[in-house]
């Protein structure tokens, strides 16, 4: 018989066919014995009753106190539990504790930790041991491995791994029934699709990246954020009209949640490269009008929250429930976070954990129910703080992006003034003969692209690949 990920460890004495009370009773007997070496078996019993978050403190305590390593049965329990609750709960554990297990999910967590520390060789070492194709962590491990090769500028290896990632993710999507996991798998697959042009961009193969970016479907959840990357790629190809076309897409009402002040910076830069000084200046001035006043209030507000993760969690929750703040920057930032794939994954796990509150009512053993309730409270508080910590990190990141954008805009403003001054000294008229604002003669397109007329509105059914047709006024 073909193995499945949800197979039961051999040491279990109870089967899936037993009722919930039998499983909880079996777990209670193990807990009463005080034998922590049997905690993995107890967790397996609880997993049968979908008491996932209630099980986390038990398995963490086991890992912290045991000397056992490379136990296949324990690894299966860890894989199954982490699949249900997500990796973040276990990323909090020190690496020396995690290294006691060789479970694929644990090795993936260790690789993630090493990757964030820029220890790429170590991260690859954790991923070196093969992971079975059917294992739920496989697509995510491949995405991480490809990303490591990409940032290391090893395009050939990155492309090979990313292509494998797409195929494996597709297989998992076909078999998965859980809507949240299907969404996560599709996002992972699409990040693998754009991993290829990102690798090509990293080594300045801009023409190759230009074509590879087109492989991402516009229906993809991540397509809106990738537009900006495509815009930069076109900028390096000196196709400024297409850069501007990509950026104007963000003006569509469906993208009003996108938070990226650098969009305006790239827009101003593109106009500057085409010597369209007035357009560049107007873009800079519009940026200052939009951000200068509200940014100070935004920054003071998030600084005032310190590390109160519960408040950060509540900020996004209240925003999704329709509560708006007086600060437009904060509203857009919260809207952006609420649609962020990492936030959605954390929040989905949190909601799954809260479902256990209702299931807990069926536990007739009062003492066991009290223990499980305490565990569940601890795990849910941790998950809520993980969400709050992520939200805080994103809001702080947005604040830093605004500061960086102001610096860039100041440079552009000075550069535009300098260039205009030079032209005036050289007696070159900025408006000689009037300015023709567009001509299809200035358009560039490939065999993958079509020409459509554009009357000022966005299509209702699809956002297209827009492109400007402005003529450069550089002399």
Residue 421 has pLDDT above 80, yes or no: no
Long-range contacts of 173-182 (CB under 8 A, 24+ apart): 180/345, 180/348, 181/136
Q: What is the separation of C-alpha 474 from the centre of its chain, rounded to a whole number of angstroms?
A: 40
DSSP letter for each residue of 11-39: T--S-TTS-HHHHHHHHHHHHHHT-GGGH
Q: Per-residue confidence at 302, pLDDT binned at 50, 70, 90?
A: very high
> Residues 179-189: what's their mean pLDDT?
96
* DSSP 8-state assignment for residue 103: -
Residue 24 has pLDDT above 90, yes or no: no
Q: Which residue has the higher pLDDT, 286 or 21?
A: 286
Q: Per-residue confidence at 1, pLDDT binned at 50, 70, 90?
A: very low
pLDDT confidence of residue 295: 94
Locus of tokens 């190809």? 237
pLDDT confidence of residue 424: 65
Nearest 5°: phi and psi at 447? -65, -20
Long-range contacts of 356-364 (CB under 8 A, 24+ apart): 356/50, 356/51, 356/52, 356/53, 356/54, 359/49, 359/50, 359/51, 360/51, 360/54, 362/20, 362/21, 363/20, 363/21, 363/24, 364/21
Domain residue ranges in the chain: 1-113, 254-435
> Residues 269-279: what's their mean pLDDT?
94
> Residues 298-316: what's their mean pLDDT?
96
In this structure, the number of other CB atoms found within 10 A of the CB of residue 317 comes to 16
By CB atoms closer than 10 A (0-12, 13-18, 19+), residue 415 is: middle
pLDDT confidence of residue 195: 98
Residue 190 has pLDDT above 90, yes or no: yes
**CA 304 to CA 242: how far, in whole Å?**
41
SS3 (DSSP) at 70? coil
For 399-409, write each residue's pLDDT tens digit: 999 999 999 99
**CA 220 to CA 213: how far, in whole Å?**
12
Alpha-helical regions (H) of 223-365:
223-236, 240-248, 262-273, 277-304, 309-320, 328-338, 341-359
Q: Per-residue confidence at 26, pLDDT binned at 50, 70, 90?
A: confident
For the four alpha carbons of 21, 81, 129 and 163, in that order, the dihedral sign comes to positive
> Residues 446-456: what's their mean pLDDT?
50
> Residues 147-169: what's their mean pLDDT?
97
For 91-109, write each residue's pLDDT tens digit: 999 999 999 999 999 999 9
Instruction: Please check whether residue 42 is in contact with residue 27, taking contact to mean a CB–CB distance below 8 angstroms.
Output: yes
**CA 182 to CA 385: how far, in whole Å?**
25
pLDDT confidence of residue 422: 74
Instruction: Please check whether residue 384 is in contact with residue 346, taking contact to mean a CB–CB distance below 8 angstroms.
Output: no
Q: Which of 134-143, 382-391, 414-423 has the lowest mean pLDDT?
A: 414-423
**CA 445 to CA 380: how far, in whole Å?**
52
Residue 5 has pLDDT above 70, yes or no: no
Q: What is the pTM of this model?
A: 0.86
Q: Which residue has the higher pLDDT, 383 or 458?
A: 383
* DSSP 8-state assignment for residue 252: S
**CA 49 to CA 45: how far, in whole Å?**
7
For 57-82, write each residue's pLDDT tens digit: 999 999 999 987 778 999 999 999 99
> What's the chain's average pLDDT?
88
Q: Per-residue confidence at 468, pLDDT binned at 50, 70, 90?
A: confident
Residue 28 has pLDDT above 80, yes or no: yes
Say how many Å lie between the first and final Cα of the chain, rounded.
73
Q: Per-residue confidence at 426, pLDDT binned at 50, 70, 90?
A: low
pLDDT confidence of residue 240: 95
Instruction: Please check whether residue 185 is in contact with residue 173, taking contact to mean a CB–CB distance below 8 angstroms.
Output: yes
> Residues 189-197: what's their mean pLDDT?
98
Tokens of 60: 């963490």
> Residues 438-458: what's their mean pLDDT?
51
Best CA proximity match to 60, nearest among 81, 32, 34: 81
Rg of the chain taking only CA atoms, in angstroms: 27
DSSP letter for each residue of 318-348: HHHTT---S-HHHHHHHHHHHT-HHHHHHHH
């Amino acid at each position: 018989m073909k193995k499945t990920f949800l197979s039961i460890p051999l040491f279990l004495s109870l089967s899936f066919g037993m009722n919930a009370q039998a499983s909880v009773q079996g777990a209670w007997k193990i807990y009463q014995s005080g034998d922590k070496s049997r905690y993995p078996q107890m967790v397996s019993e609880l997993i049968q009753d979908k008491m996932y978050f209630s099980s986390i403190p038990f398995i963490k305590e086991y890992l912290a106190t045991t000397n056992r390593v490379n136990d296949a049965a324990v690894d299966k329990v860890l894989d199954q539990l982490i699949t249900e609750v997500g990796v973040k709960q276990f990323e909090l554990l020190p690496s020396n504790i995690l290294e006691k297990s060789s479970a694929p999910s644990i090795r993936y967590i260790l690789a993630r930790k090493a990757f964030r520390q820029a220890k790429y060789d170590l991260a690859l070492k954790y991923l070196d041991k093969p992971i079975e194709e059917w294992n739920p962590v496989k697509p995510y491990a491949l995405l991480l491995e490809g990303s490591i090769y990409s940032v290391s500028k090893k395009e050939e290896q990155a492309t090979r791994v990313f292509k494998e990632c797409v195929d494996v993710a597709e297989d998992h999507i076909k078999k998965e029934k859980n809507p949240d996991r299907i969404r996560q798998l599709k996002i992972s697959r699409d990040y693998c699709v754009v991993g290829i042009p990102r690798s090509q961009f990293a080594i300045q193969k801009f023409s190759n990246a230009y074509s590879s970016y087109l492989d991402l479907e516009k229906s993809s959840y991540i397509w809106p954020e990738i537009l900006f990357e495509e815009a930069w790629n076109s900028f390096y190809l000196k196709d400024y009209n297409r850069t501007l076309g990509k950026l104007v897409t963000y003006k569509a009402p469906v993208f009003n949640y996108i938070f990226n002040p650098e969009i305006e910076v790239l827009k101003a830069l593109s106009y500057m490269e085409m010597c369209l000084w007035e357009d560049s200046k107007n873009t800079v001035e519009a940026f200052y009008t939009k951000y200068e006043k509200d940014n100070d209030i935004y920054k003071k507000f998030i600084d005032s929250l310190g590390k109160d993760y519960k408040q950060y969690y509540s900020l996004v929750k209240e925003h999704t429930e329709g509560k708006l703040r007086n600060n437009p920057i904060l509203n857009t930032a919260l809207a952006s976070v609420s649609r962020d794939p990492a936030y959605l994954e954390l929040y989905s796990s949190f909601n799954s954990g809260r479902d256990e509150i209702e299931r807990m009512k069926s536990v007739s053993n009062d003492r066991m129910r009290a223990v499980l309730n305490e565990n569940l409270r601890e795990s849910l508080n941790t998950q809520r703080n993980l969400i709050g910590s992520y939200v805080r990190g994103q809001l702080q990141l947005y604040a830093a992006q605004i500061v960086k954008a102001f610096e860039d805009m100041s440079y552009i403003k000075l550069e535009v003034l300098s260039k205009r001054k030079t032209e005036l000294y050289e007696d070159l008229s900025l408006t000689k003969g009037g300015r023709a604002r567009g001509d299809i003669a200035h358009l560039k397109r490939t065999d993958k692209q079509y020409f459509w007329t554009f009357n000022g509105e966005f299509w209702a059914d699809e956002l297209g690949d827009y492109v400007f047709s402005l003529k450069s006024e550089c002399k």
